[in-house]
Amino acid sequence: MKLKHLSLSVMIMGTALGLASTQAAASGYQFGSQSVSGQGTAHANGAEANDPSTIFTNPAGLSRLEGTQLVIGGTLVVPHSEYTDNGSTNVLGQATGGGNGGTFAPKAVAAPTFYLSHKINDKITAGIGLFVPYGAKLDYGFDWAGRYALKSVNLQSLNINPSISFKLDDRHSFGFGVSAQYMDATLEQMADATSGLALKAAKAGGITGPFGPGGATVTLTDPAQISAVMRAGGVGGDGLAHVEGNDWGFGWNIGYMFQLNENTRFGLAYRSSVKQSLQGSSTWTFNNVTGNVTVGGITLPAAVAAKRAHPNASASVDVTTPETVSANFFHQLNPKVALMGDVTWVRNSQLQQLDIKQSTVDSTPQGDLVLHQNWKDTWRLSFGSNYQLNDSWMLRGGVAWEQSPLQSDQDRHPALPDSDRLWLSLGANYKINKQSSIDLAYSFIDFKNANVNYTDSCNPTGQKADGSLCTGNGGTVKGSYKTYLQLIGVQYNYRF
């Protein structure tokens, strides 16, 4: 992947060609809706297989589709998220100041879907799907309290998924698909230049001057005191780190469907992980840093001194998206009512941390920029129903509960302030004529209130206590989030 400047998240077109980025609608960086018809049942319809979007949930379901069918849809994500700071501090233990990030989530973002299927013969059906698997988009601004952990993040993705199904007999069907997945990520965080310069001065033996009582000459070695002197002397302002990149990766998915009888069927599906490597560069700017500092007996603009410590560098990060395993059922209870359910396991534990590696510059190695996550595997449970109101209208509804992969407040980073969530969904299908219909869906996703107490293990000097190199600001983001999302979906279906 060509990282072009890496942008601190690898989270997620997702929730931007998808992207609900205040938090992705599904757990972790996963975008929550790849099908409007599925959204109407809170995605409990994995075994329904009523249109080509079954390519995403279970490719074996293609065997149920007649002729050639087309689905084009879009989901509008309307996020609402509030952050309240509860005492964020910089690496010196001082209050960072600043606000709560304002309206850091976008007003709305849209994600497209496209599916096409064609029945080749009585045994084989092929299809292709385009959808958004991951996404995140947040921008807290330049002066919020947690700016040294994150200023903004934008993760976008698109998956192209050709698939084929084989109908063995009236009961058993198998499906297989391959995926080409594109990911583009951008991350920005502010750089605490003043604290970094103060720490470097303290490490070099401190600063000497008329800082004592009555103007007595003393040597200060406490970084907090040195920082105060620097600020009083006009040193201030933050730098900006910008990283971005993109890459293609490849994976596969497989499914099985068992038709118990005319009214009941069960499905199993597996979607593999996708390994992607973003490579590019990290860029640092210190145009807003003011004042002068003395380094090695030479007085320099503080912006120049800070830039010397953070040269632009090549960068790379390896990302492995989590695999999923799903089991589901569909039962036509009577001519009007159908019941369905799904349970999905997500191997989020693959994402323990994001380790952005930087190259050596002028014979000086640069430390890694690390976002620790410590994620756990998660479960999603959903149950839904269809109701055939009349020949033209079918109504849908569903509920779902989904776990967050985060294990503690210490693992919750502002780029993904995730938490357990509850889905409530309503939907409808309107039959225009024998060939075409429209699906509508609305979902309200309520996130559990979440606290953040995230500490960066690095510091602006670029060296940990054990002597190992790193890149980061140190400090702790401490606050709380309140979040909910609304998803509005429209889908057009056509049978040739």
Concatenate the DSSP letters of all residues of 381-398 into one string: EEEEEEEE-SSSEEEEEE
- The answer to whether the CB of 410 falls within 8 A of the CB of 455 is yes
Number of Cβ atoms within 10 Å of the Cβ of 336: 13
State percent of the chain over pLDDT 70. 93
Structure tokens that stand for 321 in this block: 């998206």
Q: Above 90 in pLDDT, residue 323?
A: yes
**pLDDT value for 29:** 59
Residue 348 has pLDDT above 60, yes or no: yes
Name 112's bridge partners: 74
Q: What architecture is domain 23-495? A: Beta Barrel (2.40)
Please say if the pLDDT value at position 102 is more than 50: yes
Model pLDDT, residue 125: 97
pLDDT at 13 over 60: no
Q: What is the pLDDT of residue 26?
A: 53
- Would you say 19 and 77 are in contact if contact means Cβ atoms under 8 Å apart? yes
Residue pair 415/138 in contact (Cβ under 8 Å)? The answer is yes
Mean pLDDT across the stretch 110-117?
Answer: 94
Among the listed ranges 24-38, 262-276, 315-329, 451-465, which one has the minimum average pLDDT value?
24-38
E strand or H helix at 138, and its extent?
A: strand 136-139
Strand 239-261 and strand 2-6: pairing?
Answer: antiparallel
Decide which of 85 and 3 is more confident.
Answer: 85
Least confident of 211-225, 331-345, 446-460: 211-225
pLDDT at residue number 317: 86
Does the pLDDT of residue 495 top 80, yes or no?
yes
- H/E stretch holding 54: helix 54-57
Do the Cβ atoms of 15 and 135 come closer than 8 Å?
yes
Range with the largest mean pLDDT of 97-101, 293-297, 307-311, 356-360: 97-101
Least confident among 2-16, 319-333, 431-445? 2-16
Instruction: Find the Cα–Cα–Cα–Cα dihedral 244, 247, 252, 253, rounded to 10°.
Output: 30
CA 326 to chain centroid, in Å, comes to 21
Alpha carbon distance 101, 12 (integer Å) = 19
Measure the CA angle with vertex 151, ends 146 and 157; round to 5°.
130
Q: Indicate the residue type of 307.
A: K
Contact 406, 419 (CB under 8 A): yes
Is pLDDT at 135 greater than 90 in this prediction? no
Bridge partners, residue 491, by sequence: 73, 439
- Residue 31 — very low, low, confident or very high, per pLDDT cuts 50/70/90? low
- Would the pLDDT of 15 be above 50? no
Q: Which residues contact 376 (CB under 8 A, 6 or more apart)?
A: 348, 349, 405, 406, 407
Pick from 74, 73, 81: nearest CA to 24: 81
Six-digit token string for 276: 């992607």
Chain mean position to CA 143: 23
Q: Taking a C-beta distance cutoff of 8 angstroms, is the pair 29, 153 a contact? A: no
Q: Is the predicted pLDDT of residue 18 greater than 80, yes or no?
A: no
The encoded tokens of residue 479 equal 């606050």
Bridge partners of 202, per DSSP, are none
Q: What does the pLDDT average to over 163-180? A: 96
Give residue 364's pLDDT band: very low, low, confident or very high (50, 70, 90): confident
Q: Quote the mean pLDDT of the chain.
A: 88
| Angle between helical axes of 193-203 and 223-232 (0-180°, round to 10) | 120
- The confidence band for 240, taking pLDDT boundaries of 50, 70 and 90, is very high
Confidence grade of residue 363 (pLDDT, cut at 50, 70, 90): confident
Cα–Cα distances (Å) from 220 to 109, 184, 227, 291, in that order, read: 51, 46, 10, 19
Has residue 21 got a pLDDT over 80?
A: no
**DSSP H or E run through 200:** helix 193-203
Distance CA 234, CA 301 (A): 11
Q: Is the pLDDT reported for residue 423 higher than 90? A: yes
> Which residue did the predictor score with more confidence, 323 or 371?
323
Statement: residue 52 has pLDDT above 70: yes
* Residue 73: strand, helix, or coil: strand
Cβ neighbourhood burial of 299 (10 Å; 0-12, 13-18, 19+): exposed
Residue 467 has pLDDT above 90, yes or no: no
Q: What are the structural domain ranges in the chain?
A: 23-495
Residue 32 CA to residue 264 CA, distance in Å, equals: 26
Decide if pLDDT at 445 tops 50: yes
* 396 or 6, which is more confident: 396
Main-chain dihedrals φ then ψ at residue 302, nearest 5 degrees? -60, -35
Burial of 232 (0-12, 13-18, 19+ CB in 10 A): exposed
Lowest-confidence region among 3-17, 37-51, 72-86, 282-296: 3-17
Least confident of 330-334, 341-345, 367-371, 453-457: 367-371
**How much is the pTM?**
0.87
With b for 16 or more beta-carbon neighbours within 10 A and e for fewer, the 436-451 pattern comes to ebebbbebebebeebb
